[in-house]
Amino acid sequence: MSNPFPIPLNALRAIEIVARRGALAPAAEELGVTIGAVSQHLRRAEERLGMELFTRTPQGLRPLPALAQVLPQLSAGFSQLQEGLASLTGAHEGVLNVTVGSVFASRWLIWRVHRFSALHPGLEMRLTVTGTMLDLSRPDIDCGIRYGDGTWPGITASLIGGQDFQPVCAPALRERLKQPADLANVPVIADQTSMLDWPAWLAAAGLDPKMQLLGPVYSDASLAFDAAISGQGVLLAADMMTADAVSDGRLLRPFGLPLRGRRGYFLALAKGRREPKKLKLFRDWLAEEVPASAGGYVQQGIGLPPPLPGP
């Protein structure tokens, strides 16, 4: 009888990780072996199959067409194995592991986790807060919240909110901002990590999109928010992230001109991965909690102005 698995399972796993991540090191770390051992797995697998699986490029190892074609099946298969083992042992059913960025965690989620916990007292949420886009197929991560356009390789993503954005500032700057053109006369905070589009907002507000904006520069989004709250300048930010600070008066929206962009916050999970009950509970909670927290205008009793047309 022929062997249905001519390649050892560890070697298959190494092939899948390297094909997805483009390097030997992530596979070595996940499998708990050396990079040399991963390299040997790949070499021996190619010998047994009688074909090359990877090509080296300046961007790293890339799967050749035959491997690229079956990669989704390999990834889905390993995800199902992980889920099957977890179901068999009952492991992690009471823990939801979520990876999030620092702004989403500190400006929105951390203030609402207690409400999720109150609704589901038997389910503990554990947050991994990082600016790095972690591999969502890892067994210790159930899902992630990512900001972008919703298209990431090997990821299923569903929009949860955060598409509207506009300038915000501390109350102390309000008198200097009568109209959008006044941005030329006040400090404007540059968040180097932001994907929000100042030129698009300026153009939608009737200004030159190349208008020069000067002010302090930050390479950390949370610090940029704190700088705005402390009165250091005007910050371009998603309405969803500033809603609480606007509601309690730490920030205000001087022009009331939101722009709907193409990016937003997405609930993301690895393609092919089963969605357990705990993840469905989190998805349903987000669907209720995000609209309830939107805007900041509602909490202040101010009518929401019509949004500017999108770019």
Q: Which domains does the chain have, with CATH numbers?
A: 9-89 (1.10.10.10), 95-159+263-288 (3.40.190.10), 164-261 (3.40.190.10)
Q: What is the three-state SS of 186-212?
A: CCECEECCCCCCHHHHHHHCCCCCCCC
Q: Evaluate if residue 50 carries a pLDDT over 60.
A: yes
- Band (pLDDT 50/70/90 cuts) for residue 276 is confident
Q: State what percent of residues in the chain have pLDDT above 90.
A: 55
Q: Evaluate if residue 136 carries a pLDDT over 60.
A: yes
- Band (pLDDT 50/70/90 cuts) for residue 9 is confident
Contact 49, 8 (CB under 8 A): no
Q: Assign residue 32 a region: left if phi > 0, alpha if psi is -120 to 50, beta otherwise?
A: left
Q: What pLDDT sits at residue 60? A: 85
Q: Evaluate if residue 86 carries a pLDDT over 80.
A: no
pTM listed for this prediction: 0.68
Q: What pLDDT sits at residue 296? A: 39
Of the two residues 223 and 94, the one the predictor is more confident about is 223
- Band (pLDDT 50/70/90 cuts) for residue 294 is low
Lowest mean pLDDT, pick from 17-31, 208-222, 258-272: 17-31
**Residue 125: its H or E element:** strand 124-129
Q: Evaluate if residue 139 carries a pLDDT over 80.
A: no
Mean pLDDT (whole number) for 5-27: 86
Q: What pLDDT sits at residue 77? A: 80
- Band (pLDDT 50/70/90 cuts) for residue 167 is very high
Q: What pLDDT sits at residue 258? A: 95
* Pairwise CA distance, residues 275 & 278, whole Å: 8
pLDDT in tens, 260-270: 999 999 999 98
| Unique residue bearing structure tokens 């708990």 | 32
Q: What pLDDT sits at residue 3? A: 61
Q: Evaluate if residue 212 carries a pLDDT over 60.
A: yes
* Pairwise CA distance, residues 193 & 140, whole Å: 26
Lowest mean pLDDT, pick from 83-87, 119-123, 276-280: 83-87
Q: Evaluate if residue 309 carries a pLDDT over 50.
A: no
Find how far residue 131's CA is from the centre of its chain: 9
pLDDT in tens, 110-129: 999 999 999 999 899 999 99
Q: Evaluate if residue 89 carries a pLDDT over 50.
A: no
Picking from 198, 109, 113, the residue whose alpha carbon sits closest to that of residue 161 is 109
